[in-house]
Amino acid sequence: MDTENNFKERIRKEYERLTPGFRRLADFLTEKTVDAAFLTATELARHVGVDPATVVRFSQELGYSGYRELSREIKAYVRDQVKGAYERSQMAEGMAEMLEALVEYKIEQVQRFFAASASAVAEAVFAIVEAKRLWAVAEGATYHMAAFAAKRFGRLGYEARCVAPSMAGTASSLLAMGEGDVMLAIVQEGPGLDVGYALHLAKEKGVKTICISSRNNILAARETDILIHVPSDSPVALFDFSTEMVALSLLWEAVGKERKVDVASADARRQEMLERLFKQRLETGEYEIASAQKIWEERLKKQEGEDNG
């Protein structure tokens, strides 16, 4: 289907005689086509500032039976664009050309993600802003991403902890959780069963739950209060984790802005404390440093003797 000469061409031909409300819709569909592909009639109306009935009438004005038919055509156009970026990455000649195609693909991927998940991200931001404490949970390789998220939110003044990736560690963390806390889960590869169990038990304790997941049908995604769905497809047949990082970055920056946190000022205070610690280190006598080292060496030798005996 040559969609470029279909819905966009129809808009071009009819634009001059459109009403102001219809023109706002036409501008949005032609300028933010990727965003529009993932919006319902009601969501599109809210973005543009018209009522849903206007969206239906606009679609009929262009010759469609309704917005559903127009939306199918827009989705087909976006699929063709994404497919084009994929094919360019496959046919790239040389590293520079391949990297350029990958960047183009990722830009389109992030646009698709935000168009579909903007409301969920906003809901998650408000939940974290009101949180007493933040718990990050994940399993497998994604655990390190959760640990990174906990550290970043700690810089915003939160008591933020990463749940240990074990049943015992999760159980201990769940005991310490309470109403007003927020659990942020990240699931990419694997079934994410342990994360799903943790989300379920956390909700029982009145904890608000957020899950960033590349799949919306796994247990963790079904158990969470707020699901931020992120695409993980890649033209090189690998799991793409970049959109998860974009989602975390959006949460961190938006929460920081809402809480009016001056990270630069906090960094300056942290640097001042580091300088004080370094100054103390310089003023510490060598005998004190050597004494601690000597005690450690003696204990090590004693342990080795016991092991050999």
CA–CA separation, 14 and 28 (whole Å): 15
Q: What is the pLDDT of residues 128-170, one digit of tens each?
A: 999 999 999 998 888 999 999 999 999 898 999 999 878 898 9
pTM (predicted TM-score): 0.65
Which residues, other chains included, contact 80 with Cβ-Cβ below 8 Å and sequence gap of 6+? 3
Neighbour tally for 126: CB within 10 Å: 14
- Mind listing the pLDDT tens digit for each residue in 238-262? 778 888 999 999 999 999 999 887 7
Q: Are 224 and 184 in contact (CB under 8 A)?
A: no
Q: How far is CA 237 from the centre of its chain?
A: 21
Residues 277-284: what's their mean pLDDT? Answer: 79
For 197-212, write each residue's pLDDT tens digit: 999 999 999 999 999 9
| pLDDT interval class at 289 (50, 70, 90) | low
Local structure of 305: helix, strand or coil: helix
Looking at every residue in the chain, the average pLDDT score rounds to: 85
User: 212 has which bridge partners?
Assistant: 186, 228
Residue closest to 131 by CA, chosen among 152, 108, 160: 160
pLDDT above 90 covers what percent of the chain? 41
Instruction: Report the alpha-carbon distance of residue 189 to residue 139 in Å, rounded.
Output: 9
Q: Where are the alpha helices (DSSP H) in the chain?
A: 7-14, 20-31, 33-36, 41-48, 52-61, 67-90, 95-129, 143-154, 167-176, 193-204, 219-223, 242-258, 263-283, 286-308
